[in-house]
Structure 1
Amino acid sequence: MAKRWFGIAALLVATACASTPRVNYDSDPTADFSRYRSYSWVFSGVPQGMNPLLFERVKASIDRSLAARSFTQSANGDFAIAFTLGARDRVEVTDYGPYGPFFPRFGYGWGGYHDVDVRNVTDGTLTIDIYDVATKKPVWHGTATQEINRNKPDPAMIDVAVDAALANFPPPPPKAR
């Protein structure tokens, strides 16, 4: 019975971790982000090989997220934005040890039963790049990576990934020394 509860608890922890994307970002410290008020898209059409429905969902989510930050879309924006999507499969192995954490080995010399969980997972990565229109140089790069289901994209997960990736845009101003 305790083993079953441990399995349920492990599943809940894994589910909670899977719903939070891992985020990284980088920015040009010389860029003046305070002058950015409007944006335009680098690509007007769907890149070759990308699911057009998924492209439109991500684009709409980025539009929504930027609008929430008071940025407006314009044909001649202050910055231009582009995104890419990627996926990578990996094998996840979890060894819970002999008898799991609640059942220590009884006596010496008695073989151990190891509870091992092996599963295939797919990590999806959303990469957002922002370019200064005046200089045509990159000024910000952000990624959000989380576990996905390749066969059924979840619109809620798209919004979570977009919001997580853009949480650090614009970056805080550099600190005075």
Structure 2
Amino acid sequence: MQRGFRISLAVLAITLLTCGVALAQEVKSQAMPGTDFSKYHTYKWVVVEGAKQPNQITDAQIKQAVESQLASKGLSKVESDPADLYISYQVAVQQQTQWNAYGTGGMRWGGGMGTATQSTINIGTLVLDFYDPATKQLVWTGSATKTLNPSSNQEKNQNNLNKAMAKLLKNYPPK
């Protein structure tokens, strides 16, 4: 009888842990190998052409969450060039296509040749991309899932975004 109770308790504990993990925000990031992140001190927001953008309220919430994390790391936002980094984001409240632009085209910094790759963003995901405007290359990308859950509680939404961006940018710049 006691052995059966222990097994049931163990199964319940594993189930509760699994549920907690399933509901937790997941973050992942990649950095371009060999990039000297110590040279980046300023950033400017840019918009990826063709990417879906949220409403103005959600846009402001996202930027506020990212900007507070970057400020804590010593980066300063500028409104015009020159900027050391161009930063963009894409969101999906449902499954959507993400476009990644590389090369001398695709972003708003001039014409020329370029390539774009396509991937899928899962529900409630925010993808944050950092581009080096001098090389026109993606140098860092990160995504946070279960981050966007539009509800009528704006404070809860902002707290969720703040938590996700702190978690996502915890290891920026990469060591």
TM-score tier by shorter-chain length is 0.5 to 0.7
Q: Give 1 or 2 for the bigger CA radius of gyration.
A: 1
Residue deviations 1:32-70, cap 9 Å, x none?
1111111111139xx655221101100111111100111
CA contact 2:125–2:148 (8 Å) conserved in 1: no
TM superposition score normalised by structure 1: 0.63
C-alpha deviation, 1:80, in angstroms: 0.8
- Superposed, which structure 2 residues align to 1:66-145 within 5 Å? 66-74=70-78, 75=80, 76-88=82-94, 123-145=123-145
Q: Which amino acid aligns with 2:144?
A: A
Q: Which whole-Å CA distance do the structure 1 matches of 2:142 and 2:88 have between them?
A: 11
Structure 1 residue aligned with 2:164, among 158, 161, 166?
A: 161
Count of equivalent residues: 134
Q: Does 1:61 align with 2:65?
A: yes
Say which SS state the counterpart of residue 85 (structure 1) adopts: strand
- Structure with more relative contact order (C-alpha pairs < 8 Å, separation 6 or more): 1
| Aligned CA distance change for structure 1 residues 15 and 67 (closer, same or farther; 3 Å) | same
Query: Higher strand proportion, which one?
Result: 1
C-alpha deviation, 1:165, in angstroms: 1.6
Residue 55 of structure 2 corresponds to: 51
Structure 1 residue aligned with 2:26, among 22, 29, 49?
A: 22
CA contact 1:24–1:165 (8 Å) conserved in 2: yes
For structure 2, which runs of at least 5 residues remain unmatched after alignment? 96-121
Aligned alpha-carbon RMSD (Å) = 3.1
C-alpha deviation, 1:163, in angstroms: 1.3
CA contact 1:128–1:165 (8 Å) conserved in 2: no
Residue 175 of structure 1 corresponds to: none
CA contact 2:30–2:142 (8 Å) conserved in 1: yes
Q: Which amino acid aligns with 1:160?
A: K
Q: Which whole-Å CA distance do the structure 2 matches of 1:147 and 1:32 have between them?
A: 29
TM superposition score normalised by structure 2: 0.64
Q: Which whole-Å CA distance do the structure 2 matches of 1:52 and 1:87 have between them?
A: 15
Say which SS state the counterpart of residue 172 (structure 2) adopts: coil
C-alpha deviation, 1:16, in angstroms: 7.1
- Kindly, what percent of the aligned residue pairs are identical? 28
CA contact 1:61–1:158 (8 Å) conserved in 2: yes
Residue 170 of structure 1 corresponds to: 173
CA contact 2:147–2:160 (8 Å) conserved in 1: no
